[in-house]
Structure 1
Amino acid sequence: MKALIFGGSGALGRSMVKVFKGWKVTSVDFNKNEECENIIIKNASDINFLKSELNTLEKFNCIVCVAGGWTGGSIKDENVLQVYEDMNQKSVVPALVCSHLATTQLSRQGLLIFTGAYSVFNAPTPSMIGYALAKTAVHTLAIQTAVSTHLPEDSAVITLLPETIDTPANRQAMPKEDFTKWANPDQVAGLVRSWAEGLNRPKNGAFVHLRVKNGSIAPDFL
């Protein structure tokens, strides 16, 4: 079994790599993850380089896009365009690359995972306009990809909708919050692995709200 983790050196990406232990895992990121094979990129949009590095007949059973980032700011801010461009590069471009790769690199009955945002999916978020635009684009890409005729037979596109993930960066940014209400990244990864192995796998095109209840993730399939 093979998994491709785009963003495998980030906090959630490292959990994905760890939890998928026993699979042949490849991380795509700007930095190396010592726990798996790596493709180090300089530009997330360099599809040709990435495809040349992935030139193999053995396809991936699961492609997971967990690359991203967060920046706040409203439409009034003078740097609104720069913020949007940054969010686009960090969230939309990796998701689009993974979608493209899935047309040739994903196996039959494979799984393509996008990472969206429940806050953006659920209601307007004008205090983080660049982030909202980027995540909305990811949600739209997921919808379009799920109905594409170019994906392998019986494959599924699933979009994660976390609220807040319990990462070191989030703890540092919000030290007074109740961390027990945040999604544990290992639990998120465990959920994805179970779907990849066919357990309680959501239908193609599903959006999954990662609610946290009593310290555990209670997914709502939307």
Structure 2
Amino acid sequence: MKALIFGGSGSLGRSMVKVFKGWKLTNVDFNKNQECDDNIIIKNSNDIHFLKSELNTLDKFNCIICVAGGWTGGSIKDENVLQVYEDMNQKNVLPAFVCSHLATTQLSRQGLLIFTGAYSVFNAPTPSMIGYALAKTAVHTLAIQTAVSTHLPEDSAVITLLPETIDTPANRQAMPKEDFTKWANPDQIAGLVRSWAEEWSICSFKSKKWFNCT
């Protein structure tokens, strides 16, 4: 079994790599993850041609997981709101967009494409983090559009994770007074993704229709 993890050097990415031990793993990120079998180091998230040339030497993936992302607060009134939006688009939307494109050629039959959205943005307006909200809304929309596309491999599916606050070092530093026990555990998220990936690849199409969710 093979998985491509886009953002495999980040906090959630490292949990994915740890939990997916036993699979052949390819990390796409700005930095290496030594626990992966292959590392493709990129200078920017939208270098599709470079990525495709690197991936063409590898077999297709049973699972493509996009866990690259970032968070910044701020309202529409802020003087730097455009810069914040551009940063959030670069960190959240472009990696997801690239993974969606790669899935059309690099995902195997009966494969899974996993996006990372945000429950807070999906559930209600979040004007106190407008740039992040717009970026994650774009990711949610991309997931829906990709899920109904005819360009993915046969019997493949798209899943969008909608975590609340994930328990990462960066989030703890940014919100030191919060109750960390209420946050989503990245290892548990990774374990859930692995169970989906393994079940999707072995069960029959008829019995797995329920699994085709976003």
Report the counterpart of residue 28 of structure 2 in structure 1: 28
Structure 1: which 5+ residue stretches go unaligned?
Answer: 208-222
* Structure with greater strand share of residues: 1
1:135 partner amino acid: K
Matched ranges for 1:1-222 at <5 A: 1-36=1-36, 37-56=38-57, 58-198=59-199, 203-204=211-212, 206-207=213-214
Structure 2: distance between partners of 1:96 and 1:78? 28
Structure 2: distance between partners of 1:83 and 1:197? 38
| Deviation by residue 1:56-109 (Cα, 9 ceiling, x = unmatched) | 362100000000000000001111111000000000000000000000000011
* Structure with greater helix share of residues: 2
| Deviation by residue 1:162-209 (Cα, 9 ceiling, x = unmatched) | 0011101111111111111111101100000000001697632x24xx
Report the counterpart of residue 210 of structure 1 in structure 2: none
Report the counterpart of residue 219 of structure 1 in structure 2: none
Structure 2: distance between partners of 1:174 and 1:134? 21
1:187 partner amino acid: Q
Structure 1: distance between partners of 2:169 and 2:104? 34
TM-score by length of 2: 0.94
Structure 1: distance between partners of 2:170 and 2:79? 25
Identity rate of aligned residues, in percent?
89
Q: How many residues align?
A: 206
**Deviation at residue 7 of structure 1 after TM alignment:** 0.3
1:30 partner amino acid: F
Structure 2: which 5+ residue stretches go unaligned?
Answer: none
Structure 1: distance between partners of 2:46 and 2:211? 29
Structure 2: distance between partners of 1:100 and 1:70? 24
Structure 2: distance between partners of 1:178 and 1:57? 43
Report the counterpart of residue 215 of structure 1 in structure 2: none
Task: State the structure with bigger RCO (CA 8 A, min sep 6), 1 or 2.
Answer: 2
Structure 2: distance between partners of 1:58 and 1:42? 23
Structure 1: distance between partners of 2:156 and 2:73? 35
- Aligned structure 1 segments of 4 or more residues deviating by more than 3 angstroms: 199-202
**Deviation at residue 118 of structure 1 after TM alignment:** 0.2
2:52 partner amino acid: K
Structure 2: distance between partners of 1:41 and 1:158? 25
Q: Which SS does the other structure have where 2:108 is aligned?
A: strand
Structure 1: distance between partners of 2:119 and 2:150? 27
Structure 1: distance between partners of 2:110 and 2:81? 41
Structure 1: distance between partners of 2:3 and 2:23? 7
Q: Which SS does the other structure have where 2:211 is aligned?
A: coil
